[in-house]
Structure 1
């Protein structure tokens, strides 16, 4: 027998010492970046300031001077250094995906003129000033075999670029990326970068060929435009189909995150192959993925946590590593560095400020835009590296441009923080942000897969019909889980009433002799976000009598997701609601939350323009004695009830629903008051929220709701939590 040791049989692609250094580098950079990031946050500055500083400290400027031998061993100037570039690249890639996910194309389109003016100022002024400066810089800092025009064009391009990753991380940390000013900064920055990469490809072609060819210019522009057009048409269709397929077959945020990252890598590969730049492809993919409802706040939050705590700090710390302040100590280099830095800062600030002013923005908005677009970041360092490899820059000019990248990135966050605090929020913007905040906690806005178990009864058919109304304007994938001897016949009954405006219907049958376990297992494994169940009350006076049936009671008690229960006293052969008739819905207001889930469901069911929702709030009159009612306390209770009912109604009115309020003061049981109100308005549906309480191994929704299910003159829709 021959035993082959793994170390002998395998030929790893990374040498042992190189791998050891990589692990140590990652540990040092990540640990120091996170530590200094937290210090910066405590000082009121964005964490990116500390992360960039971490790279400068362990780079040649500080650590290299204090312990040059140790620094050379830990960060050798060999091919091993390229290994660190991989996690750093993943950092900028993930950051651009996240930026794209947070980008609102609709808002950007609405502010397209403003973004265009800001971007035009932010490109033209620094490019022109950099071009002029390129002709004035001493010859000692210009490569001998590089034409002065080529050098000047390259410097103008370098000074016109903006650092979207730095801007995005600052905006995310400050929680203003969804504000109008945040979206406007991103839009102007992306226009800047797109034009900048086109200019860079032109200048790079000029440096390689020695002449400015019209074909190269046209080709660069055509590649960028072609990539964007194909991405937003065919690419958008491909991304949508892929994410929908992943969501159906592998529910949960994990598989969606993997799919988004894989697609981003593919888009980045295409843009890199077109000689545009990989980060543009990742950003475009983020925008396309962000348009999908399935990529909700859970996916964004998970990706954000990974990016902002691991990969982004590595990226910014790696950028700081490239700074060598020692190269700037030579007198000529020092004063040129000061001049270039001044021109770079003034050019971006003045250009963006001027564009914002022409667009009609206020002083603080213009200042915030100037500060944000002034940050050059690692993209500037990438450009400097390209210039050095092409022979367009000397090592001295390389150090100067890297210095511009670091200084502008460090100064942008504190100015942004101060300016953004002064930017007023318009009523329209406040309303939009409020809607987005409500959407994150909304039940229906976070539902993608619905499970509808059924044995084909009338209540199940009614549940399917109500689900169809709730689904108006939304995209749900529905699984009809049929129980009984003839699943196909049950599917036919249910799908006759199930009309989805988006999404797919999947048909499945209950396996085994335990339908409750089958329903609960399907809900968990299938990644369903909501169960919709039709049931008829079967409770008797026996202590252990089931509220509905043993199956329904167990699903109520053990459901892993929110549940909508539709119950009525229809006979099995009765007709369900006429889908063409307007609804008269009675919503029982509890006052717990103006955005409670019962209200959300009621207003969603009332999708017909002629439907009306009556918000009923029942107040039990307070008493000072057993026999005497305190009228003062009654008045206070009524005022509070009126306020709560009005707030509840405002949610429906904002959604375009006709809403009426009715506050009733009564010492009668709640169920009787609600039933009487439902008869008075001829309600077609009562909507109420309740928590399930397990009592003697059966489901219990409370005595009042038990009574309401028996006395209501119309179907009752109950919303329960998981």
Structure 2
């Protein structure tokens, strides 16, 4: 046989075995759906699709191209041409057998749109919204007009229902005007241009294109189902879509967050959050179907809302992405490739029409996006990069074509032409975009922003998703609530306030106290609403009461995925270098980062100050940088000042020699702190001290300046009790002002300290 032609990723031998088994197992059987054939089909599509996808990625192409090519290789275009009997045995045209694979593919469409929605960054869209909207409108109108005109002049033989030419023309216009967010985002991300200004505009424009495209597809779906231009049904679809989107992005946004948090905090079964998200996707898909539009719009919006949830987004994304990428994507795109019979392009007329379709699609989209970029204020180079990126159709085009085929808008030949166009434009996009982006210069403002964002990837505060605040009814608890509110308000983080001072029966009597802590957090968050961006200043706060022993309560809360525990209780330190028993119990049951607040000085009378004058000691270690990050965030969130101190301790044998050399290392550490503050436009004062005792130098700095809060990054020391070392202990006990200790999650061996 000529099977050697079909050796993608070295999988031909396995495929040949499966082919022979399938042909022999099904040979002579009566027609009917076969589970054996279904599994064979899935195995072949996954094996060949993933193998070709790997090859595509290695040569700089999206893996979805390999999955599409796998279906084309296994379909009538090649496999059916070389070995028609075997191809017909594995992929029979029986409706019942095809329906089994179609069912999996339909679920795959919904999951793909869910994942695409999760990758949609609405903050990015809002940030470059005006330019992106102007570019998107121009980038849609021009190719839409081209596609509509092409649809009007297509031969009747290419239309399944020539009497519904208007619907087919609208569908062609949409198919040519829409871009693939997934392909665009993947290529831009692979080139490290996702955070560049032009990269943000490209992705944001693709998001708007996609959203508008799905709304248009929804209207066309309604038209196709009615058969004629029924104004009432179209109005119902359009109004229903607008109402659905309005509710989704207002009430629905908060509801989705509440559902995710409720599932995470209350359900104990495995992957409970994923289950809730899949149910949410299904319900929203059914809602869009009920209002007369396609289910994909519901799945897409569900993905956006899940991605907007302020908690657990990384874990959810990782769990879903693996299943979708390894199973549903190869099956869906492979099935799309199976449906495309490229052998029909041997007809010169169809081949010419396909080439014309590719040219019209490329010129229309490229020209429209370039014109939109020029009107939107982009430079010529930026407009070229934008136009190159927007020309990729990829997975979105295939999904649209599949929908068109399923609802009878597209004929088999027209479907093949559109899939061919999607493959050609998508394969041309990466090298074109790389060439255009490689020539783009970077201005100073963009460079500074990228450096800050790169730092935030490794930072502590920037990666917080869900802090837990454990408090009693003390003044320190109120001050801790204020601090947490400032941090949460900068990024819109949800806060859980856990009251640990009393049991549930007593806690019920003090409900006003519960509300007061919640109010303190919200009030502090509101004070930073003018400083942050996006959802800053708008945070969700829930209150929980202690209903068991303290250690058991903390253990129960720790399993819910909190990434910082802030403790604010009346008594912090006990005798003999020990923390109070309650803090010891809390720390023993929480393995993550821990922050301990001790209110002193003026904060005992004013636990909700208008500003904070902060002192942060630095040593160059990772944990001291964490303390500096928290100090900078608190200073940025409210009015006040920030003072940084480095103590060159004479406990080091070389300290005096270092001092005589100008203390180059120490100056470098202070410069790092200054650079950190500068990234967030925070003014700081730096101080360098030489002292035998770091704690003495820090305490002296407190006494001689106007600071009212010391923020220290500390390590947990391995011991039979909670310990952060002698320096932290001395400052905590002897300081006349409030102290905030921010610890790492893991304990380390005790070592000599430098401050």
TM-score using structure 1 length:
0.83
Q: Which residue of 2 aligns with 1:561?
A: 592
Question: Does 1:686 find its partner at 2:686?
Answer: no
Question: Does 1:537 find its partner at 2:573?
Answer: yes
**Are 1:146 and 1:392, in contact at CA under 8 Å, matched by a contact in 2?**
no
Shift of 1:528: 3.4
Shift of 1:578: 4.5
Q: How does 1:145-224 map to 2 (within 5 A)?
A: 146=163, 152=169, 154-171=171-188, 174=191, 176-177=193-194, 179-193=196-210, 195-196=212-213, 212=229, 214-215=231-232, 218-224=235-241
Alpha-carbon distance between aligned partners in 1 of 2:401 and 2:378, rounded to the nearest angstrom: 33
Structure 1: segments with no counterpart, 5+ residues: 1-14, 541-545
Shift of 1:662: 0.9
**Are 2:310 and 2:465, in contact at CA under 8 Å, matched by a contact in 1?**
no
Q: Which residue of 2 aligns with 1:719?
A: 742
Q: Sort the Cα spacing of 1:673 and 1:151 in 2 relative to 1 into closer, same or farther, 3 A.
A: closer
Alpha-carbon displacement from aligned partner over 1:18-63 (angstroms, at most 9, x marks no partner) = 3332323222222322222222222233323323222222222222
Alpha-carbon distance between aligned partners in 2 of 1:281 and 1:664, rounded to the nearest angstrom: 61
Q: Which residue of 2 aligns with 1:702?
A: 725
Alpha-carbon distance between aligned partners in 2 of 1:147 and 1:236, rounded to the nearest angstrom: 38
**Are 1:451 and 1:481, in contact at CA under 8 Å, matched by a contact in 2?**
no
Alpha-carbon distance between aligned partners in 1 of 2:85 and 2:222, rounded to the nearest angstrom: 39
Alpha-carbon distance between aligned partners in 2 of 1:86 and 1:172, rounded to the nearest angstrom: 32
Q: Sort the Cα spacing of 1:619 and 1:388 in 2 relative to 1 into closer, same or farther, 3 A.
A: closer
**Are 1:377 and 1:409, in contact at CA under 8 Å, matched by a contact in 2?**
yes
Q: Which residue of 2 aligns with 1:231?
A: 248
Alpha-carbon displacement from aligned partner over 1:670-694 (angstroms, at most 9, x marks no partner) = 1111111111114322221221222
Question: Does 1:522 find its partner at 2:556?
Answer: yes
Shift of 1:388: 5.0
**Are 1:619 and 1:637, in contact at CA under 8 Å, matched by a contact in 2?**
no
SS of alignment partner, residue 592 of structure 2: coil
Q: Sort the Cα spacing of 1:169 and 1:560 in 2 relative to 1 into closer, same or farther, 3 A.
A: same
Q: Sort the Cα spacing of 1:492 and 1:198 in 2 relative to 1 into closer, same or farther, 3 A.
A: closer
Q: Which residue of 1 aligns with 2:620?
A: 591
Alpha-carbon distance between aligned partners in 2 of 1:126 and 1:132, rounded to the nearest angstrom: 10
Question: Does 1:641 find its partner at 2:666?
Answer: yes
Alpha-carbon distance between aligned partners in 2 of 1:295 and 1:275, rounded to the nearest angstrom: 33
Q: Which residue of 1 aligns with 2:55?
A: 39
Q: Which residue of 2 aligns with 1:299?
A: 316
Alpha-carbon distance between aligned partners in 2 of 1:555 and 1:205, rounded to the nearest angstrom: 58
Shift of 1:709: 3.3
Q: Sort the Cα spacing of 1:115 and 1:252 in 2 relative to 1 into closer, same or farther, 3 A.
A: farther
Correspondent of 2:689 among 654, 664, 680: 664
Alpha-carbon displacement from aligned partner over 1:262-302 (angstroms, at most 9, x marks no partner) = 32332222223333322222222333333332244343344
Correspondent of 1:500 among 512, 521, 524: 521
Q: Which residue of 1 aligns with 2:698?
A: 674
Question: Does 1:509 find its partner at 2:540?
Answer: no
Q: Which residue of 1 aligns with 2:752?
A: none
Shift of 1:601: 2.7
Q: Which residue of 1 aligns with 2:335?
A: 318
**Are 2:236 and 2:292, in contact at CA under 8 Å, matched by a contact in 1?**
no
**Are 1:170 and 1:413, in contact at CA under 8 Å, matched by a contact in 2?**
yes
**Cα RMSD, aligned residues only:** 3.9
Alpha-carbon displacement from aligned partner over 1:229-277 (angstroms, at most 9, x marks no partner) = 3332333343344344445435999544443333233222222333332
Q: Sort the Cα spacing of 1:67 and 1:622 in 2 relative to 1 into closer, same or farther, 3 A.
A: farther
Shift of 1:422: 3.7
Correspondent of 1:80 among 97, 116, 140: 97
**Are 2:572 and 2:583, in contact at CA under 8 Å, matched by a contact in 1?**
no
**Are 1:584 and 1:681, in contact at CA under 8 Å, matched by a contact in 2?**
no
Structure 2: segments with no counterpart, 5+ residues: 1-30, 523-538, 746-755
Shift of 1:598: 1.0
Correspondent of 1:281 among 272, 287, 298: 298
Alpha-carbon distance between aligned partners in 1 of 2:685 and 2:467, rounded to the nearest angstrom: 32
Correspondent of 2:468 among 422, 425, 450: 450
